[in-house]
Amino acid sequence: MKLLDGKKVSEDIKNEIAAEVQKMKDNGEKVPHLAAVIVGTDGASLTYVGSKVKACERVGFESTLIKMPNTTSETELLKKIKELNEDDDIDGFIVQLPLPKQIDTQEVLMAIDPNKDVDGFHPENFGKMALDMTTFIPATPFGILELLERYGVETQGKHTVVIGRSHIVGRPMSILMGRKGFPGNSTVTLTHSYTKNISQITTQADIIITALGVPNYLKAEMVKDDAVVIDVGITRVSDDSTEKGYRITGDVDFENVSKKASFITPVPGGVGPMTIAMLLKNTLLAREQKRLKMR
């Protein structure tokens, strides 16, 4: 069994991006600028956005963090997005999800300029991704592709089973694994809460990508020998034996599944760190595209 070490690979990617940024500085070019908007005080979201800001510093990007109160109206948030769309200094920005219930998430995502949508959630970017065109790939699926590529995991002709059909991970992942090229060229089955006899499907899978958010859902008996297992799930599970009173658990019963898998991602330290690294990569791409347009 080989561990797909997202922590290590994400550090490699950040080093590569930092080297690119240094070249930009040496050439007197503008460095990429990423902005993040957070509405409210959700603890997990604040931690996540904080780590994005730190990652920007680490690679030499400029970053802006915009905090808005929980009571922010949809109109106020859309006004802020319009400002960011029109701000030439900002190359890419994200609006941290989830948003408070008074705000329509779809309206917000639609309002972001597709050229600055480094999260890859705008329908225009999603459509381009589905058509194999160059675009911003959502950061988590992008990170999974990068892990598979850097570890040389064979995907061509393989049966990939995706568990979960969210717009952020499951659905884009099912499209990307079936695209032409590497990683890709696999036969994909997308499963979800209405899928019957899911174990019959997962036991036939060469590659399983699970993004359910149900702790320890994928058991050893659901996985065939030498399968590749990618665990996107991340759930806080109460645990009084730990200092924080909880532990982070994935969708996979790691202890038992790892004994059968050929490759597996740990939680934490697998897909999570890759998401932030690929967000930085998308921001670098946004800056590069802008520079080429200005020529």
Bind-site residues for NADP(+): 164-166, 234
Report d(CA 61, CA 135) in Å as an integer.
21
Report d(CA 224, CA 96) in Å as an integer.
37
Question: What SS3 state is found at 171?
Answer: helix
Residue 151 · residue 2 · CB < 8 Å: yes
Q: State the alpha helices, DSSP H only, in the chain.
A: 6-26, 43-59, 74-86, 105-111, 123-130, 139-150, 170-177, 198-202, 254-257, 271-294
Active-site hit among 80, 91, 96, 116? 96
Question: Is 289 in the active site?
Answer: no
Question: Is 14 in the active site?
Answer: no
End-to-end CA distance of the chain: 49
Select from 229, 218, 213, 225 the least CA-distant residue to 270: 229
CA distances from 158 to 95, 120, 227, 251, 263 (A): 35, 26, 10, 22, 14
Question: What SS3 state is found at 196?
Answer: coil
Active-site hit among 119, 206, 231, 253? 119
Question: Is 206 in the active site?
Answer: no
Select from 120, 113, 52 the least CA-distant residue to 84: 113
Active-site hit among 5, 14, 52, 117? 52
Identity of residue 243: E
Which residue numbers belong to the known binding site?
A: 164-166, 234
Where in the sequence numbering do the catalytic residues fall?
Answer: 52, 96, 119
